Amino acid sequence: MIAELAIAALVTPAAGLEAIQVRGNERTEEAVILRAAGVTVGDPVTAGDLPAIRQRLMNLRLFGDVEVTLPAGHDVLTIEVDERWTLIPLPMLMVAGDDFRVGGLLLEANLFGLNKKLGAGGAYQEDSSMAFLMYEDPSILGSRLVGSARFQLFVGTRERYRDGAVESSFRDHAYSFAGLLGPRLTPELTVSGGGFVVFGTSEALDDVPGPRDIVFGPATQLRYDDVDFHLFVSEGVRAVVDVRRALETLGAARDASFVDLEASATVLTGWRHAVSAVAVGHARSGDDLLDAHWIGGRRGFRGFPPQTVMTSLAAALSLDYSVPLAFALGGTWTAGAYVDAGFVRDAGIDWFVNPGVGFRFYLRDIALPAVGLDLVLNTQERELVPTAAVGLSF
């Protein structure tokens, strides 16, 4: 195993680097590694620069470890990487209270060795199913342009709950597509624009939601990502704001707006304990049923099983504390406690505070965490909601 950090640099060549050697990359293109390292031949590099170079490479999330060396009296920088497995076929099993979900995912997190992501998957749960296809490119043709595309299909019964009872329901066939393209203005900040479309059919059961028709319009995204990756935790600040707007004047079936926000800040203590704060918000306008947002199963709303609560406005703050328990079986085992608190409109919930505990297993040599278990106290229903996931939850 490569040591977590091996730096041998006592003297810095005044003339700068004469060469950079990259080793250990069997799948990742050398150009991707050099671009992430942020140094080129001719740059003066000191011993104090080497930890930052290593961390920038770790932030690609493609390597289990990175060694950066500059032997004393030499002007050749050596980068040796230990690659993680990035072609990941994963079964998925998720149990949340009385609900379950099974499915699978095939993800390539380092497509063509160029740090691009391509994934496809699907899931089935009682009376509904979904499938998706996604692509993310953090550097189109090696440039500062960032692009992404996602297609999703949902077929199933949508139910709106109020005070623990079904208020309305309908059978939905919904197809959606979104594409974004934009520049990386700084290493941390990206602004993207594009469009989205949602279409399909709906069949009334207890209520008439209106025709699904076609809703489309412009989409924008603002992303700030300044985190350092440490295998079992990402330390730093991250924020994403997505805004989509459909207008009848542009030919859409109705006016509608969709706003999503997620911001997080994580600090890693001297004992490698992680303290995190996550703020989440969702706002919708348009058709009360067809354009509503579905919460549950994610940070901020972990006390609600996935896809069970429909709302036009939801906001939550999550505070998490996690501790690494052991480094064994090819990964890191952690345990933690958290509390989710927030507000949900239109579902008879209003304000909520849901505490919980969780366990995680993060694989060192595979580019995604694989196993998680949460036990949350849903204070509205006065019941414990266990959530277990093998593979990925969507």
Write the pLDDT tens digit of every residue in 121-164: 988 877 788 899 999 999 999 899 999 999 999 998 877 766 66
pLDDT at 47: 83
**Percent of the chain whose predicted confidence (pLDDT) is above 90:** 54
The model's pTM: 0.84
CATH entry, 19-83, from 3.10.20.310, 3.40.50.920, 3.40.50.720, 3.60.10.10? 3.10.20.310
Residue ranges per structural domain of the chain: 19-83, 87-390
Q: Return the bridge partners of 342, or none.
A: 316, 352
CA distance 218 to 372: 36
- CATH number of this structure's domain 87-390: 2.40.160.50
Residue 187 DSSP one-character state = S
Q: In the structure, what pLDDT confidence band is assigned to residue 93 with cuts at 50, 70 and 90?
A: low
The alpha carbon of residue 293 and the mean position of all alpha carbons in its chain are separated, in whole angstroms, by 18
Confidence of residue 1 (pLDDT cuts 50, 70, 90): very low
In the predicted model, is pLDDT for residue 83 greater than 80?
yes
- Asked if the model's pLDDT at residue 350 lies above 90, the reply is no
Tell me what pLDDT residue 8 has: 37
Least confident of 64-73, 98-107, 180-189, 332-341: 98-107
The one-letter amino acid at 225: D
Residue 255 or 16, more confident: 255
pLDDT in tens, 261-312: 999 999 999 888 999 999 999 999 998 888 999 888 788 998 887 767 889 9
> What is the token pair recorded at 203?
């069949």
**How far apart (Å, rounded) are the C-alpha atoms in residues 57 and 60?**
6
Domains 19-83 and 87-390 share a fold: no
pLDDT number for residue 99 = 65
For the residues 226-235, what does the mean pLDDT come to? 89
**According to the model, what pLDDT value does residue 329 have?**
76
**Inter-axis angle of helices 30-37 and 50-58, nearest 10:** 130
| Average confidence score pLDDT of the chain | 86
Give one DSSP letter per residue of 218-276, joined into a string.
Answer: EEEEEEEEEEEE-SS-EEEEEEEEEEEEE-GGGT-SS-EEEEEEEEEEEEE-TTS-EEE
Least confident piece of the model among 5-14, 140-149, 366-375? 5-14
Q: What is the pLDDT of residue 4?
A: 39
What was the pLDDT predicted at 322?
93
Q: What average pLDDT does range 6-29 have in this prediction?
A: 71
Given a contact cutoff of 8 angstroms between Cβ atoms, the answer to whether 45 and 54 are in contact is no
pLDDT for 159? 73
Is pLDDT at 12 greater than 50 in this prediction?
no
By residue count, the chain amounts to: 394
297 versus 350: the higher-pLDDT residue is 350
Alpha carbons 387 and 366: distance in angstroms, whole number = 22
Tell me the two tokens of residue 299.
């940070």
Q: What is the mean pLDDT of residues 52-72?
A: 92
Residue 11 has pLDDT above 50, yes or no: no
> Among 50-54, 156-160, 179-183, 375-379, where is mean pLDDT lowest?
156-160
Max avg pLDDT among 16-25, 71-80, 204-213: 16-25
- Other Cβ atoms within 10 Å of 216 Cβ, number: 21
> Which pLDDT score, from 0 to 100, does residue 370 have?
62
Per-residue confidence (pLDDT) for residue 278, from 0 to 100: 96
Whole-number Å distance between alpha carbons of 245 and 231 = 37
pLDDT at 384: 84
Output the CA angle 266-270-272, nearest 5 degrees: 60
